[in-house]
A and B are shown apart, each in its own frame.
Chain A
């Protein structure tokens, strides 16, 4: 009965490859997010979707493309992976948009690009 689940938990791949991370929430929330946490634990917002529509797209390279087939899913596809993409990626959801409600996080996907 995991609320926000991400797969895979670990992802090791080579530079130039394309990979996807899946995220699903069973909380009935309308808003979902992707955050990137670097090695110094700084957590940076990448995207935010509300009811399947993109509402926030921070300065993220075009190689990152989120896809929301329905409001319970927000997947992240990354093209042409680079060394600097190595990080932990967190999916989150909230009942309310605009920073009003508590975020529920998945347990992260540790991406290592070699």
Chain B
């Protein structure tokens, strides 16, 4: 079953603006990851945040995690046209005694130059 749900489904902004994407999940997690997917390519790992962490930064990326609300957000500051891609969150959902990275449908981000 689907674990993570990204919101919004689509986001269109101007270059230089900030982009915020949200992810909600249903069951408890050990960690949550964010990935980027450019058109026609595979997913690329951006950042992993553990359940005992509240915030993490990587360059222009800022990820927050609120386990009480079962939600995470990805903030891209000072966006660039090259940030245009789909962004996915993945949680380590339990499946048959093992944990597997489970993805949502992603947020499609378009950054206009």
Partner of A45, one of B33, B86, B102, B105: B102
With most chain B CB atoms within 10 A of its CB, the pick from A33, A41, A56, A98 is A41
A interface, how many residues as a size bin?
20 to 34
Q: Does B64 contact A (CB under 8 A)?
A: no
Does A66 count as interface, using CB distance less than 8 angstroms?
no
Q: Which residues of A contact B108 (CB under 8 A)?
A: 41
Q: Tally inter-chain residue pairs, CB-CB below 8 A.
A: 78
Nearest-Cβ distance from residue A74 to partner chain B, whole angstroms: 14
| B37, B42, B43, B44 pick with most chain A CB within 10 angstroms | B42
* B45 and A48 contact, CB distance less than 8 A: no
Residue B113 is within 8 A (CB to CB) of chain A in the complex: no
- Residues of A4-44 at the interface with B, using a CB-CB cut-off of 8 Å, are 4, 33, 35, 40-44
Please name the residue on chain B nearest to A58 by beta carbon. B95
- Interface residues in A89-114 by Cβ distance below 8 A to B read 90, 92, 94, 97-100, 102-108
**Bound-state Cα–Cα, A90 to B99, Å:** 19
Q: Tell me the complex Cα distance, A99–B105, Å.
A: 18
A83 interfacial by beta-carbon distance below 8 Å:
no
Assembled-state Cα–Cα distance A77/B102 (Å): 23
A71-95 Cβ-contact flags toward B at 8 Å (1 or 0): 0000000000000000000101010
Query: Taking each of A43, A92, A98, A108, which has the highest tally of chain B beta carbons within 10 Å of its own beta carbon?
Result: A43
Chain B residues near A45 (CB-CB < 8 A): 95, 100-102
State whether A42 touches B105 (Cβ < 8 A): yes
**Contacting pair A99 B91 (CB below 8 A):** yes
Q: Is the beta-carbon distance between A107 and B40 smaller than 8 angstroms?
A: yes
Residue of A nearest to B107 (CB): A41
Closest chain B residue to A40, Cβ basis: B105
User: Hey, which bits of chain A sit against chain B, CB under 8 A?
Assistant: 4, 33, 35, 40-45, 48, 55-56, 58, 90, 92, 94, 97-100, 102-108
5 A-B residue pairs with Cβ-Cβ distance under 8 Å, sorted by A, are A35-B103, A44-B103, A55-B98, A102-B48, A103-B45
